[in-house]
A and B are shown apart, each in its own frame.
Chain A
Amino acid sequence: MDNWIKLIEAAEAILNLPEGSIDGLSGQDNIESWDSLAMVNLVTELQAIFEVEFDILEIAEFHNIEIIKLVLMEKGIDF
């Protein structure tokens, strides 16, 4: 499956959002359920899906989907 789709689907599932409701700019400014608790779940889910490890500074910068994508790309995940 395309990694972008994997990322979007994981975020929608963890944040309890309907399919198709998230894009690259979705984040803490426009999604109500995007809080630190949801972030714990999203981080652990993404680490499991992409088999990567985020460090705490990276997690602190996860303000929207696009940023997460960029961090994943830095870890060698193709988008």
Chain B
Amino acid sequence: MEQINNFPLKWNAPLKKAVERAYCTGRLTDIRGALRHIEKLPFDCVGKSVVVGILRTFTIETLIDHMRLSLSIMPSSPTFVLGELENIEQELQDVDSDFLQANPDFILVLWRLEELYPLLISGADIMSSEQRLNALNELIQRIQQLVNEYKGEAPLLLSNFSIPQQWLGVIHDQHRHYGIAEIVNSLNQLLYELASQNKIKIFNFSQWLMSKGGGAIDQKMDLYARQPISSDNALSYTDAIARVLRPMMFPQSKVLAVDLDNTLWGGVLGEDGVKNLKIGKDYPGNVYWRIQQVIYGLKSRGILLVLLSKNNVEDVEDAFNFIGKMPLKLSDFSVIKVNWNEKYVNLIEVSEALNLGIDSFVFLDDQPFEQEQMRQSLPEVKVLNNRNDPLDMLTVISNSNFFDQFSIGDEDQIRNKDYKSEEARDKLKKGLSKEVFLSSLSLKAEIQQVKIATIHRAVQMLAKTNQFNLTTRRHNEAVIRKMLENNRNLLLTISLKDKFGDQGIIGLCIVLEGEAGDEMILDSFLLSCRALGRGAEDLLWSVVLKYLDERGCKLLKASFIPSLKNMQVSMFYDRLGMDLKSHDKKETKYVMKPPYFAIKPAWIDLKK
């Protein structure tokens, strides 16, 4: 059974049981049973609506209920629009097609060589190497053309290729030029290249297949109805697809709060003593070693680590010093909470100290009691379900999708350093007035138009920023690129550094040309919570107004759109001196006319 790591908030016990049963049996009747429970849920329990477009070369209709379940437990509320079988290019290029008219949020392309080039698969042995090379070139051209000619806004997710069943293990094919194995490799290389250029996302079908082994493909059903995924593995297949969609639907978790005893090492420090802890090259110490390596890997990707342990802090420091060489050091943790308080109490304090919402946290602990207490006390925290067994814990943390993202930017990698610097800033802050303190930080800012190199960070900020975000509009990369095509639009990023470190890009402002030429609309204004309290928002605002003035803007329109998390900025535009135009539950509208005036924070040095 696949492990369900985290049920959505507010899901009741019968529903959870029905979903667990569906995952246990994999039977369609149980899957539909679980879906019937989900359909009865109130609106606020089902997650946001998404339209998933699917283009394919094989039958996927029989897996739609599986896919619905995989996406529903995220939670989300999916609807599906399917293109005609083997009609991929036509569906993508015809803007009037029913497929594109359904406005899919993502477009999945599930294809196989068996259907893309049947002659190659059936006749590779009677083709010359030149003919096989030609076939490869045709396929490459087809994929490139498809990607380059696609102008839609919904991200394209292309499945990569696997070696067709009849060519698995065929020795002579693996020892010739442009054999099926080489062709599959070359096509997958092309897909990786396109993904690295940010043109597509990849659903790694071949890797999924490898992880499942031979039983994942049902040749009988493939031949009977061109439905190749075996029923035993159907939910795993749709889960794998859902996992790739997840980073486009939900912000990545930012913090891993982790226990120590029987989690980062085997044994209980206070009972077994430091000499008897299990950590090292031999079993079971090697499992804990591997867990530490995985966690260190998360830190390298910008995930903040927090140590939550019921121990004496001196004992823990001694243990780290005594054991010496381990993948994780105490200095790898942004916050260390080693005391006898309840872990959820510690976690609340850490969340306040880091200025991050409780829902940014993932919790790993071997004790079912601690897992359950965290779940009940702070339901927003994602608790990694494990069965108090180190190997299970290793699997759970390695396979967790909460930290998934499509790429790792510079800002991700400096985030850990920056939160460390935050501690130093806090120490300096004590005893100084706000202005004196901020001046002592030697803050330097740079404000720039969004460009190719910073688009990814801009999109990432739009996707992740919740608190200081006036409209919470989650524009994707295609939308940002389109905005940049109009040189009247203003898309500015602000980056900040101080004497403790470089925070990178921490703010974004998008001002779009209005319908009347001399009117501009403030589409988005957001600031990373890492940068709050330094006046960066005021500096960015002053630069925006200067630009608007230079461009002869006669009217600036702005909105505050309330969300569950952005109430701290509900009065932001009032503070900036904008005039209130209208107010209702969903939106507060403001306007501003020249002369524009803004106070620039004196303690930030703006790079010219």
A residues lining the B interface (CB < 8 Å): 10, 13-14, 36-37, 39-41, 43-45, 47-49, 55-56, 59-60
Contacts and interface: CB of A to CB of B under 8 A. Distances in A.
Interface of B: 25-29, 32, 59, 61-62, 220-221, 223-225, 227, 231
Nearest to B227: A40
B234 to A, nearest CB: 8
Contacts of A47: 231
8 contacts: A10-B29, A13-B28, A37-B62, A37-B225, A49-B27, A55-B220, A56-B223, A60-B224
Given A36-B224, A45-B27, 12 more contacts: A13-B28, A13-B29, A13-B32, A37-B225, A39-B224, A39-B225, A40-B59, A41-B62, A44-B231, A48-B25, A48-B27, A48-B231
A57 to B, nearest CB: 10
Contacts of B28: 13-14, 41, 44-45
B34 to A, nearest CB: 13
A36 B225 CA distance: 7
Nearest to B221: A40
A45 B221 contact: no
B29 A45 contact: yes
Contacts of B26: 48
A56 B220 contact: yes
A47 B26 CA distance: 12
Contacts of A44: 27-28, 221, 231
Contact of B59 (A37, A45, A49, A59): A37
Contacts of A40: 59, 62, 221, 224-225, 227
A14 B31 CA distance: 11
Nearest to B230: A44
Nearest to B32: A13
Most buried by B among A37, A39, A40: A40
Nearest to A55: B220
Nearest to A42: B28
A69 to B, nearest CB: 19
A59 B29 contact: no
Nearest to A14: B28
A55 B224 CA distance: 10
5 smallest beta-carbon distances between A and B, as pairs: A44-B231, A13-B29, A40-B225, A40-B62, A37-B61
Contacts of B231: 44, 47-48
Contacts of B61: 37
A59 B224 CA distance: 8
Contacts of B224: 36, 39-40, 56, 59-60
A40 B63 CA distance: 10
Contacts of A56: 220, 223-224
A63 B25 CA distance: 27
B59 to A, nearest CB: 7
